[in-house]
């Protein structure tokens, strides 16, 4: 019964990103993730991570409450807690599965030079790293946003609009999501320089 009480308490009081059955999902480099149990008078508690994907510290010296800072390594770990009663007897181990997911990084890059009234074709791209797709994003040249959903290949190449004005057009990603719950980081920009056509020429006759 002690094992059931400890595990039930842990599920109810855990500071979570997402709970799925007996698994918590967190992101790499998550900090101050809180876990605790309902303490029994005179007992102390020993915590450990089976594979060491995070660093455990106690809260205010209390062994029934801890914080975990996760590092940059992804994978599956198991949080374990054991109660040591006031008589020195050791209880059963309560376990909790933790899935550490990578953060998504999208890097937009590329450059091209085109003439007015034309478009950049196949020179601009977005590279996704950190987790598998599909990815959903919105990019913009500062004027026209374009949303693309269900991207499954990286790098993803995109074309510009046809421009009727000259100048430098700068593309950035304004929105990025994926099935992964972890935050996305957006890096870089892409540029298209639009040049004017030569002026009207006059054919001279002699």
The region of weakest confidence among 12-21, 84-93, 177-186 is 12-21
Question: d(Cα 140, Cα 175) in Å, to the nearest integer?
Answer: 10
Mean predicted lDDT score pLDDT of the chain: 87
Q: Read off the pTM.
A: 0.67
Tens-place pLDDT, residues 107-134: 999 999 999 999 999 999 999 998 777 9
CB atoms within 10 A of CB 68: 22
* Residue whose token pair is 């980081």: 185
The 10 Å CB-count burial string (b at 16+, else e) for 123-149 is bbebebebbebebebebbbeeeeeeee
State the pLDDT at residue 22.
67
Which whole-number Å values give the CA distances from 99 to 25, 49, 75, 122, 131, in the listed order? 5, 12, 6, 37, 13
Count Cβ neighbours within 10 Å for each residue of 155-191 and write b for 16 or more, e otherwise: ebebebeebeeeeebebebeebebebebebebeebbb
The arrangement of strands across the sheet holding 167-178 comes to: 111-115, 190-195, 167-178, 135-140, 145-151
How far is the C-alpha of 180 from the C-alpha of 177, rounded, in Å? 8
Question: Which domains, from first to last, does the chain contain?
Answer: 2-101 (2.60.40.10), 104-195 (2.60.40.680)
**Per-residue pLDDT at 3 exceeds 50:** no
150-206 confidence digits (pLDDT tens): 999 999 999 999 999 999 999 999 999 887 778 888 999 999 999 998 888 888 988
């Amino acid at each position: 019964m002690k094992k059931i009480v400890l595990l039930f308490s842990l599920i109810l009081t855990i500071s979570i990103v997402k709970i799925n059955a007996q698994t918590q999902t967190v992101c790499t480099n998550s900090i101050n993730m809180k876990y605790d149990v309902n303490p029994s008078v005179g007992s102390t508690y020993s915590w450990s991570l089976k594979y060491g994907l995070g660093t455990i510290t106690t809260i205010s010296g209390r062994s029934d409450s801890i914080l975990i800072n996760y590092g940059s390594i992804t994978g599956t770990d198991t949080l374990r807690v054991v109660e040591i009663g006031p008589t020195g007897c050791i209880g059963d181990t309560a376990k909790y599965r933790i899935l550490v997911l990578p953060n998504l990084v999208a890097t937009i890059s590329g450059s091209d030079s085109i003439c007015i009234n034309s478009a950049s074709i196949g020179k601009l791209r977005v590279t996704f790293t950190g987790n598998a797709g599909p990815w959903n994003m919105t990019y913009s040249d500062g004027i026209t946003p374009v949303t693309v959903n269900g991207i499954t290949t990286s790098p993803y190449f995109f074309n510009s609009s046809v421009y009727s004005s000259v100048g430098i057009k700068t593309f950035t990603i304004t929105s990025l999501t994926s099935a992964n719950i972890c935050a996305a980081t957006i890096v870089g920009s892409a540029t298209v320089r639009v040049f004017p056509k030569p002026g009207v020429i006059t054919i001279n006759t002699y």
